[in-house]
Structure 1
Amino acid sequence: MSIITVDRLSKFYPVAVKEPGLKGTLTHFFRRTYRNIPAVQDVSFSIEPGEFVGFLGPNGAGKTTTLKMLTGLIHPSSGRISVAGHVPYRREAGFLQKITLVMGQKQQLIWDLPTLDSLRINAAVYGIPEAEFRRRLGELSEMLSLDRQLTQPVRKLSLGERMKAELLAALIHQPKVLFLDEPTLGLDVNAQSSVRDFLRKYNQQFQATVLLTSHYMADITALCRRVLMIHQGKLIYDGSLDGLLEQFSPCREVTVELGQDPQPQVLERFGHLKAIEGRVAHFIVPQEALTQFLSRLLAELDIADLTVTDPPVEAVIGRVFQSGGLDNTGDGASA
């Protein structure tokens, strides 16, 4: 049974329309008219318990609006949502015990107090007994490699330490469903890796369901086997990340190390020559022509080494969004 079910979910925001000039200003003042701006349109998907799902989309696509509806912060205009057996916008106590929302650009910890004080406040809010609080605190702080930082004021923590502390605070009540909105935003490479490792361990150890949005594709590729893609408020893909790359990555990059100095005019005869660096040449080759290209290359050139790689995930996903959705590049969503 799905722990998250979204059926034909939509959210529209009314925006006042004003005509130019004095007449338009007076009309706008006395008899205002509105038009509905769609933020999310007719989105449907379901997520099983324990799944770790990536939620992708460009800025303004509707990701955060969807998360806010899933957590009950805003009311949908239409459609049906069920999260852990609850209707989110009713904000029932049982529902709030089962979910958490972490936003990389927001903080819940009190700036001038030690993290431990904020954690005790959270424990009191969720009615966690002292013994159980200490057990959970020890377990999570060990997983996050937080120790002395818990007794320091939040303002003295590094950005990476603060994000770990935010995660600890958000998970102290052991929610079943995690909604994570850019949890590695602004972190350096080491801090991002540390947060990813923790999220992977938490998902595996507690079988928590996670819906993750991130603009860092390293987060998605490291953690998510399945991805949802939203574009202009509409769900345009629901499936495996590998399936997305296979379906919408029409080219491969072939890197060739030559046994002698290359002659550009000779290499250009083989196809799209991307770059030459010393004796190393880079080609972009359509997937359907790859076998023939490699056979010809090996037969006609002195090859010292050769590798074939997929294009970066960012390039594939960026191409999908630039084209206006999968309807223009492939089969469309598979919800």
Structure 2
Amino acid sequence: MARIIDITKNPDEAIAAALPLLEAGKPIAMPTETVYGLAADATNPAAVTAIYETKGRPRFNPLICHMADKAMAERYATFDPVSAQLADRFWPGPLTLILPLKEGSGIHPLATAGLETVGVRVPRGFSATLIKAFDRPLAAPSANTSGKISPTTAAHVDQDLGERIDLILDGGPAKVGLESTIVKVDGDVIRLLRPGGISADEIAAATGLEVVRHDGTNAEIEAPGMLVSHYAPGASMRLMADMLLPGEALLTFGGKRLPGIEYALGIFDLSPSGDLAEAAASLFGMMKDADATGAKTIAVTAIPSHGLGEAINDRLARAAAPRTPETTGQKHDDQ
């Protein structure tokens, strides 16, 4: 059973409890502004292996390495001018940059899935303080069983992984609620590998460069969150619903109600006022709540696709994708 420490009340106790576990190569759950992460020493192969085993995550799927600040990131990865500009603009924050690894960086190949690049992020708040105290990057995918809904509270982590880890650091509900945006600078364009907490429009405005969306034709996994099926509840997902069927739960937006709503096992409005930031922060928690109703299907109304809506719709599409060995990555993991 995991020990849970409230970092808002006992930050020093939290760091004192976390550091020995990290030194011993054991993963812990830590809060970030995006979602809760399952964190372990990115330079220790046993620690990285423990992340994969705890999550049941395919080992070809790379992990984001979290740094205390840009200076720390520069010890491990090489920045081109545009990536440096993005780091200066959006760090600390929900942006991951895919960068070339420095030779002899010390980040273990298990964390990068053997790639010569690494996903790097500087989170806001307590997690950066913990990383600075540890003085090594923490590989930290979302603290949940692989492919399931990402956790935005310590309680979510405890319900899923509480029997498999020793420590959960509780920082309250995640403020952003969606994983980080992942980009890779490629010449004079920026490739968006995963939409997230910073919109493509913000990135384009900050750099003056075109942001090109990943079209799904490249089978190579370059970054987390690129599997077709991901973020999935136990129930199936039915998107763009215009009516509700008996026995379904409803995930809605902006106060929208559907014909057949009287059949709903539960009604969950991501943002009654139609605020996309509020919807992003609510998404994973409300997906869990809808799943807990016992509905076999969660019907989802249309969500605007601009700004953070792009990331919300990305997560919903992956949650609704067919769950096969090919789409979840388990086929690749077995090979």
Tell whether the structures are fold-level matches, with TM greater than 0.5: no
Relative to its length, the structure with more helix (as a share) is 1
TM-score of the superposition, structure 1-length normalised? 0.31
Relative to its length, the structure with more strand (as a share) is 1
